[in-house]
Amino acid sequence: MKEGIARAITYGSVAVLVAGALYGTPKLPDTRPAETLLANVASVSPTPDAPPVTRSHDRIDTLGSGESLRGIFSRGGVSDILVEQALKALTVINPGRVRAGMPVTFRAEHPDSVPTEIVLQLAIDRMLHLQRSGSTWTEREETIPWRTDTIVVAGAIGSTLYQAMDSSAKDMLPAAARQQLTWSLADVFEYKIDMSRDLQEGDAFRVMAERSTSETGAVRMGRILAATFTLSGTELQAIRYKSGAVSGDYFDAEGKSLRAAFLRAPLEFRRISSRFGGRFHPVLGVWKQHRGTDYAASQGTPVRAIGDGVVIRAGWGNGYGNVLELRHRNGYVTRYGHLRGFASNVRVGTRVTIGQTVAYVGSTGMSTGPHLHFEVLVDGLQRDPRVALRNRGGEPVPARERVEFQSLRTRMMAALDGVEARGLASR
């Protein structure tokens, strides 16, 4: 009973967010729907990176790599004696353990006078003020409040998901927030879509997400509430829903969990360097069948198990270099080649879980540069990973939750349907 009440409160809140996202759209036909959603958010900065709020005699500096607070305070015009007093006044942070790149603002009554206030930006929403009266400093911590709203972004694929998101959301989100939303969207569909190789020109997405904006204009992304992907005319839906019986945060149009037996890719949303099928082998210099998929990635990039399994091979494999093989249920085996090395405790007989880091990208064996070679074998035969890992869905929501889920889905899809996709991303 308590769980039912909690879910009712949660979805009632979501309904309010959706209503806010939809409100006013029909009245403003000459503006993009996304702009309508933003109309009541006065604090959104129109620039990609909102600068700190400054005053007439502020001077902003940045803590250098290996630099101490003592050094940057001195550079900011604070005398040695006052520096000592300022460091002694710090209790919120350890002066000896501060991060490089931290913005530091010096405020003074006149351009050439000694600062009367030093502001350390500890985080995007956390400031530490050191205020001076004579030779005495006092500290004050400030937490910047966030205002949360709901936005809908819709875009069409021209080449990559990154470029599509940049093209469709550049007027409403700064670059860092766009990248964050792109990653979150890829995570939502990671059991259904390999964003680095399944997308084609003309495919499209819609996503509803929470956005938080600070008084300074900083933006950060929250949860994705719903999303759709249209691949070659077929639409996939994802609705955020907390089931009392089925695991996973997102469910498809039929109420099945998007969490499946296998992830679609062994790396987190990386660029692919070659597809399954015939290709010109870069080392042997002859045309041969390439029974797998290569993912270009930097040395040391974590490689994850695409499903629960047991290690059946972890060692040298000639042309494969360091190679790892995992046996999964139903006759599936996955192979990971050219590895730099294996994760700790990964050896023959080790049980691994889906998403677990099992190895690291390298360039061992017959390889011209860092990348991961990935294969799927079914009953001993090599299969195209794009086919072998397709459409393996999760459990559906139970019958007692169907009405609740379908009501939520209807509201979410109505909100997404009200937004038109922006044009194809530039190639």
Phi then psi dihedrals of residue 57, to 5 deg: -115, 30
* Residue predicted with more confidence, 25 or 166: 166
Q: Of 293, 294, 342, 340, whose CA–CA distance to 314 is shortest?
A: 342
Section 237-243 average pLDDT: 96
Specify whether the CB–CB gap between 272 and 290 falls below 8 A: no
Give the separation between CA 86 and CA 80, rounded to whole angstroms. Answer: 10
Residue 19 has pLDDT above 70, yes or no: no
pLDDT in tens, 64-83: 999 999 999 999 999 999 99
Give the separation between CA 181 and CA 156, rounded to whole angstroms. Answer: 15
pLDDT category of residue 287 using cuts at 50, 70 and 90: low
Q: How high does pLDDT run on average in the chain? A: 83
Give the separation between CA 204 and CA 381, rounded to whole angstroms. Answer: 34
Element (H, E) at 168: helix 161-169
Tell me if residue 151 falls in helix, strand or coil: strand
Give the separation between CA 97 and CA 206, rounded to whole angstroms. Answer: 43
Specify whether the CB–CB gap between 85 and 130 falls below 8 A: no
Tokens linked to 90: 């710090």
Helix axes 161-169 and 175-188, enclosed angle (nearest 10): 130
Section 255-274 average pLDDT: 83
Question: What pLDDT score does 2 carry?
Answer: 46
Tokens linked to 371: 């990348």
Neighbouring C-beta atoms of residue 36, cutoff 10 Å = 21
Q: Residue 62: left (phi > 0), alpha (psi -120 to 50), or beta? A: beta
Domains, the chain, with CATH or none = 2-30+146-260 (3.10.450.350), 58-143 (3.10.450.350), 272-388 (2.70.70.10)
Residue 49 has pLDDT above 50, yes or no: no
In Å, how far from its chain's centre is CA 183?
3
Q: Is the pTM of this model over 0.85?
A: no
pLDDT in tens, 385-427: 888 887 666 899 999 999 999 999 999 999 998 777 664 433 3
- The percentage of residues in the chain with a pLDDT greater than 70, rounded to a whole number, is 79
Question: What pLDDT score does 3 carry?
Answer: 52
Question: What pLDDT score does 289 carry?
Answer: 63
